[in-house]
A and B are shown apart, each in its own frame.
Chain A
Amino acid sequence: MKTSDCDIVIVGVGGQGVILISDVLGRAAVKAGLPVRGAETHGMAQRGGSVINHTRIGCRFSPMVPSGGADVLLALEPAEALRFGHYISKDGVALINTEPVLPVSVTMGKSVYPALEDLVAPFKGVCKDVKTLDATVLAREAGTAQVMNVVMLGALSKYTPIKEELLLEALCDVVPKKYLDVNNRAFQIGKAEVE
C-alpha cells in the first residue's frame, strides 16, 4: 500500500537554499490541508558540505524518504544529484541543475570534477525521467543568481500534488516583500523550462 502521496528529496550544497524549497512545499501542503513531513540538515554538516532534505506530501509517517522511494529528486547541484541518486524511485523524476559547485578538493587541484554527462548518465534507465536545466543561468535571467533555488522550485511545481497558487502563496510568506517579484519570475521561468 502506498504510504505517501509524493516523496521529494532535495539535495545541494550548504548555502544554496535547499531549506527554503522544502519550507515552501510544506507550508503549501498545510494550506492544502494535506499531512506533510520534512527532515533537514543542520549543524556541522551545513558548513559547505552536502545537504539533503526530505519532504513527504500526503504522508503521516516518518519524515525520511527511503532509498529508492523518491518520486522527485530535486538536485541544486549535479554532483550532489548523483551522490544522493539512490533515493530516486523507479517511477521517479530527477530534476538536476547543471551548474556545478566545485568542492575544495577540486579547486585545490587534488581531485577532478566529473563531466556533466557522467553525472547524469547513471540516472538513465533507473528512473522514469531525467531533466537537466541550467537553473543558475535561468535565475540570472530572472534577476539574480540567488533565486536559483526558486527556479528549481518552479520546475518541481509540475510534479507535486499541490496547486500552483498555494505554492506561490507560501513563497510569498517566506521571501522578503522586496524580492517577491524576482522570486515569482524565477518560479515561472523554472516551471516553463520543464513544460
Chain B
Amino acid sequence: MKEYLLGNVAMAKGLLEAGIGLVAGYPGTPSSEIIETLATLKGDLPFHVEWSVNEKVALEVAIGASWTGTRAAATMKHVGLNVAADPFMTLAYLGVGGGIVVITADDPFCHSSQNEQDSRRYAQFGAIPCLDPADPGEAKEMVTYGFELSERLNVPVMLRPTTRVSHARSGVEVGQVAEIHKGSGFYKNPARRVSLPVHVRPLHIELLEKQKRIEEALAGTPWNRLSLSGDHGVIASGISSLYAQEALLEMDLDLTFLKVGTFPAPSDMIRQMVEHVSKVIVVEELEPVLEEQVEKAARKYNPDLEILGKESAHIPRFGELELLAVRNAIALMEGLASRSGQILGETLNVLPHRPPGLCPGCSHRATYYAMRKAFGKNAVFPSDIGCYTMAVPMGTVDTCLCMGASISLASGIRFGGEEKGICCSLGDSTFLHGGMTGLLNAAYNKARITVTILDNSTTAMTGHQPHPGTGFTATGDRTEPVSLEAIAKALGAGFVKTVNPYDLEAAVETFKQAKDYPGLSVVIAKQACVITAKRGGQKSQTFKVNDKCEGCLVCVDFGCSAIEFAENKARINPLCSGCGVCARICPNSAIEVVK
C-alpha cells in the first residue's frame, strides 16, 4: 500500500522493514523526524531507539549494538557527522557485526544549518559506500539495501538524504515491520575490535582492497541507470537527477543520460558514457564529487571529452539546485535559449521582512535583556546553536560556531587578551551535547568568564525533543533527570546559581553577582519553553497597556512580537503569553495585568 510520507518518515519505516535492532541519534534539521517517528511507532516492538546526548555518542552506541550482531543505525544532520567523525573514521577499518547504516542529512543552502558541507566527502574520506537518494521512495529502499551491503562487505554504509529528500513527501510503498535482526551477543575478537597499531595496519590494507568490491556491488543497484543516446550527455546524482530528467523532458532533448544514486559512482557506466559522448554536463549539488570521477574516467577513456559542471561554472558549488538552474545549464550546453522565471516588477521592495524570531514570551529574550543590563552592551557575548541564535538583534549573540563552542570560545577570548566582561550562553540541550567539556576546560584552566545555560527543559529548535535534563527518554519513558546545577559544580564552576528569567530584577542581580565573581561563574536561567508550556495547557495572566503609556518605546525595543506600537502608544496583542517581563521593564508602570 502507498502512503504519502515525509522522507524522514519513509526512512523510519525502512528501518523497521529492515529489522532494525537499535537506532540512536541527536536531533538536527533536517534529520530529526527519523527518530521521532520510530519513538512514536515503537510501542511493544523489541528494538531500542534513543536520543543520545550527541552524535558521537549515538554512533558509538550504534557500533556497540552492531558488534553484538544486531542491525543498528545512527541518525544526524551533516554537521553532526563532524562530532561523530572520530568513531566514524576508525569504524571503517574495524568493520561491523550486524549491519550499520549512518544516516546523515545534508542541508544545501543552509536552510537550518551553520554550513553546507557535503557528506559524500566524508564517505570518500572514510572509504565507505554512500547512498544518495533522489526522493523519499529511494531513501526508504536504500535503508534495507544499506544493511545488506554493510553485512556483505563488513563496512558501515552512509545514507545521505538532503533537505529536499528528508523534508519532501511522496507516495511511498509501505510494507511489514520485519523481525529484528538481533545478534547473539558480543564475541571477543581483538584483531578486529581493538584499534592497536598492529591490528589496524592490516585492516587499512583490507579496507583499501575492499574498494573494488564496494564499487562493483553499488554499480548493480537500481539507483544507477544509463541510457545511451545522443552525442551529448548529462550525468546527475541524487535529487539533481530529478531536476535533470525533468529538464530534458521539458526541452524534449534526446541526450545520453546517466543517473547516479551511489558513491563511488558506477565507473563502468561512466566509462561507457565517456566513450559514447563528446560533451557531458555533470549535475550535482555542492562538491564536485561526481565531476572528479568523470574527469578521471575521461583522462583514461576519452581525453578530448568536454566536461561541463562546477569547474566550467555551469553548475554552482554552493546552495541548492532547482529545475530552472539545471534546465538553463543544459540549454547553455546545447546552445538553446535560457528560460527565466516569473517577475512581478519592482514591487517586492514594499514588502516588510519576516525573518524567523524568538516566540512572544520566550524566556531567552528576558535572559538576554538581564544579561545585557548587568554586563553592559560592550561586554563580549559568545553564543551557540539553538533558538537563541535568533537573538542577534539584541546584541547578546556575538558568536555562533558549532555545538557547545560558546564556552571554549569565551575561554579563548579571555586568554587571548580580552579584558572586558565575557558572558557566553548556550541552551540546556546544547550544553549537554557539547558544552560540558568546554566548561570543565574553563574551570581547569581558570578562565574568568560567565557561562549562561538557557534552560528551557527541551531541545526547542529542532522540535522539542527530550534530553537527559528533562527526565524523559525518546519514547517518553521516565528516567532520572540530571541536575545542570550539580553538573556545573562537579565540572568545577565556583559560582553556580539558578534564576527564573521572568523574575527580571532577580535575574539582573544574579548576572551582576556572576560578573563580579573572581573566577568561573555559571548562571542557569530556567524557564519552560513557551511552546511546551502552552501545549501543556499552562494558563497565564493577560496584560494590557493603561493610560500611563508615554510612548517611550522601552517595551517595544524589548522586541517581543506581542507588543505593538501605533499612534505613539504601545499595545499588547493576543500573541501575549503572559510572561509579564514587559510590565517589569516599563518605566511608567503602564503595563498591567488584566483583572
Residues of A within 8 A of B (CB): 1, 3, 13-14, 22-23, 26-27, 29-30, 35-50, 61-64, 66-69, 79-80, 82-83, 85-90, 102-109, 111-114, 118, 121-123, 126
Contact = CB atoms under 8 A, between A and B. Distances in A.
B323 interface: yes
B189 interface: no
A1 B250 contact: yes
Contacts of A13: 354
B3 A45 contact: no
- The 4 lowest CB-CB distance pairs between A and B, nearest first, are A67-B341, A43-B112, A43-B29, A49-B356
B329 to A, nearest CB: 13
Contact of B168 (A38, A87, A104): A38
Q: Give the dominant DSSP class at A's interface.
A: mixed
B544 to A, nearest CB: 16
Given A61-B243, A79-B351, A39 B167 contact: yes
Nearest to B462: A43
A105 B353 contact: yes
A110 B577 CA distance: 23
Given A62-B242, A86-B341, A109-B565, A44 B169 contact: no
Contacts of A50: 354
B170 interface: yes
Nearest to B245: A61
A7 B339 CA distance: 18
B356 A48 contact: yes
A102 B463 CA distance: 24
A79 to B, nearest CB: 6
Interface size of B as a range: 35 or more
Given A68-B341, A118-B350, A42 B112 contact: yes
B564 A107 contact: yes
B356 A23 contact: no
Interface string B449-471: 00000000000011100000000
21 contacts: A13-B354, A39-B168, A39-B169, A44-B112, A44-B356, A44-B461, A45-B111, A48-B354, A49-B354, A61-B246, A61-B323, A64-B322, A64-B323, A66-B327, A68-B340, A69-B341, A80-B354, A85-B344, A89-B342, A111-B352, A111-B353
B573 interface: yes
A126 B344 contact: yes
B536 interface: no
Interface in B1-58: 2-4, 6, 29-30
A40 B463 CA distance: 15
Contacts of B4: 23, 26-27, 29-30, 36, 38
A36 B171 contact: yes
Q: Which of A39, A43, A105, A112 has the most CB of B within 10 A?
A: A43
A42 B242 contact: no
B492 interface: no
A83 B354 CA distance: 10
Interface in B74-133: 111-112
Contacts of B563: 107-108
A1 B342 contact: no
B170 A36 contact: yes
Contact of B29 (A42, A109, A126): A42
Interface string B331-369: 000000001111111011011111111110000000000
B249 A48 contact: no
B446 to A, nearest CB: 36
A89 B324 CA distance: 13
A86 B322 CA distance: 14
A83 B351 CA distance: 7
A104 B323 contact: no
B351 A37 contact: no
Given A62-B323, A114-B352, 10 more contacts: A35-B171, A38-B169, A38-B170, A40-B169, A43-B111, A44-B356, A49-B355, A82-B351, A102-B564, A108-B565
B252 interface: yes
Nearest to B358: A47
B68 to A, nearest CB: 34
Given A50-B354, A86-B342, A109-B565, A62 B250 contact: no
Q: Which of B246, B340, B461 has the most CB of A within 10 A?
A: B246
B252 A1 contact: yes
B193 to A, nearest CB: 38
Contacts of A49: 354-357
B204 interface: no
B401 interface: no
Contact of A48 (B30, B239, B340, B561): B561
A61 B244 CA distance: 9
